[in-house]
Amino acid sequence: MTIQEFRSLPVQEQVSVVLSNGTELLDRIYVYYVIRLYHIGDLYVEIWYQQLSNRIDKVQVVEIDEVIHLYESQINISDLFRQE
């Protein structure tokens, strides 16, 4: 699925596609939101969940540069340098 195809879906369908076919990678907290990052096909998608109202407010495709910037403190690459 391309970015354009994904973005053309209604938000409820975007959420359904991500939750049923995506792989949850990381999460972060921003103000009142729990933001979960998913990988689906070639896309990275964030789902913005507001705990106070118990609802999803936003579904957003993010570029890999943004993923690295937003989640850099949680990305661990130390296994890549481990010698056996």
Please tell me the CATH code under which domain 3-73 is placed.
3.30.67
For 30-81, the pLDDT digits (tens) are 999 999 999 999 999 999 999 999 999 999 999 999 998 888 888 776 666 7
Give the percent of the chain with pLDDT over 90.
75
- pLDDT score, position 1: 87
Residue 4, SS3 per DSSP: helix
> Rounded distance, CA 38 to CA 45, Å?
5
pTM: 0.85
DSSP state, residue 79: G
> Rounded distance, CA 58 to CA 54, Å?
13
